[in-house]
Chain A
Amino acid sequence: MLLKRAQAGDAEAYRRFLDEIGPVLFNFVRRRVFNQEMVRDVYQEVLLTLHKARHSYEPSRPLGPWLFTVARNSMLDALGRNRKFAEREVPTEFLPESSEVEKDGSLDDRLYQALQEISPLNREAVEMLKLQGLSLEEAAKRLKISVAAVKVRAHRGYEQLRKLLTEAKHED
């Protein structure tokens, strides 16, 4: 019913629909994607595809089969694409000089230390997005990879940073 109203352009109904199905879809993705770092990216891809396919829902039919067919297929597509990106990734031996990450007092010492410990590929993405302030598109262009791959690398970087900073906090 909410989706039917959303198809007619009712923004409030669409928001309620997305709020209701959000946790269901997130759990659907989480149970099927083994790499936990990718769950959020895949979930976003599922939501985006659902948005594009919303016209194809027939209100006279049950929502479940439509919803989970869209979710399953978009999840598989997103995983396939990420796998291809991963295969194309080339490890970088040396990081480019980056004044922003130098220990100049603008960064917390612990954060600086943690940033040096995460993998170079992920660090590069985090630095570009969070320290240099580049957009996803700009970072993707500079790294010569896709926007989705930048997102994946940055997300992995944040997870590694979070883990390192949490460990450091416990040691203190």
Chain B
Amino acid sequence: MVDQLVSQNGPVKKIWPAWAQWMAWLALSAGCMALLLLKMGILNNFEELRHQMPPMAFLFTAFLGAALAAWEAISSSLPGRQMGRGYRFLEVLVLLALLLIPFLFFVKGGEGLDIVTACRNGWGCIQGASFAGILPWILLGFILSKNASFHPGWTGAWSGVSAFLLGAITIQIHCPNWETGHMVFAHLLPVAFFTFLTTFAGAYWFSRWRQ
């Protein structure tokens, strides 16, 4: 067995350190977001929103969630680098906070949450958030496929959370509608949907190193 393995040994393409993979992906994704926003344009009153706490808290929390999830995806694909329960707890806490922020700060008085209207009016944003997340996910997937994940489904799920959260941020900066229903169903729901899909896609893509 050892002889066989030794005879098959050749120079292998070494992987980048985890932090370098993470930084590279964040930089590339930021580039994608910037290009997309240049093409689509940012909302007119963004300068005004920039000085308000709730919109900035939402965007910052979403970015923090995306960055943490990307690190989780990368570390879960490198043997011996898996993060502990504490890190996952923090990640879940950030995602819960992100989900709560629209309900805490963006509910308008006297208005109920009209899910159907929010979805109907938000179809363009759902498409936009999906589109904006696909390229970052492909970039992250390409990086992760070079690693050696033993839990490819989980790696896929975290990569989906990360990439499509960036997509949600991009659309949020472009879209003038900052109402709770619209934010949750048109901007954040695609994140959940694509996370489901990337779990299965990741289970296939990130286990190819074993073949």
Contacts and interface: CB of A to CB of B under 8 A. Distances in A.
A69 B2 contact: no
Contacts of B148: 52-53, 55-56, 70
A60 to B, nearest CB: 7
Given A14-B6, A15-B2, A60-B17, A7 B79 contact: no
B10 A58 contact: no
Contact of B79 (A6, A22, A51, A53): A53
A73 interface: yes
B13 interface: yes
Interface in A1-40: 6-9, 11, 14-15, 18-19, 22
11 contacts: A6-B9, A9-B10, A44-B1, A47-B2, A51-B5, A53-B148, A55-B12, A58-B78, A66-B80, A68-B80, A73-B150
Given A9-B11, A14-B9, A18-B5, A58 B147 contact: no
Interface of A: 6-9, 11, 14-15, 18-19, 22, 44, 47-49, 51-58, 60-61, 64-70, 73-74, 77
Contacts of A57: 79
Contacts of B5: 14, 18, 47-48, 51
Interface string B161-193: 000000000000000000000000000000000
The B interface, classified by DSSP as helix, strand, loop or mixed, is loop
Interface string B130-151: 0000000000000000011010
A19 B5 CA distance: 12
Contact of A47 (B1, B13, B78): B1
Contacts of B2: 15, 18-19, 22, 47
User: For this complex, into which size category does the number of interface residues on chain B fall?
Assistant: 20 to 34
Interface of B: 1-2, 5-15, 17-18, 78-82, 147-148, 150, 209-210
The A interface, classified by DSSP as helix, strand, loop or mixed, is helix
A30 B184 CA distance: 52
A49 B9 CA distance: 13
A62 to B, nearest CB: 8
B209 A69 contact: no
A9 B9 contact: yes
Contact of A61 (B1, B13, B14, B80): B80
Nearest to A53: B148
Contacts of A6: 9
B12 A69 contact: no
Given A14-B5, A15-B6, A61-B80, A52 B210 contact: yes
Nearest to A70: B79
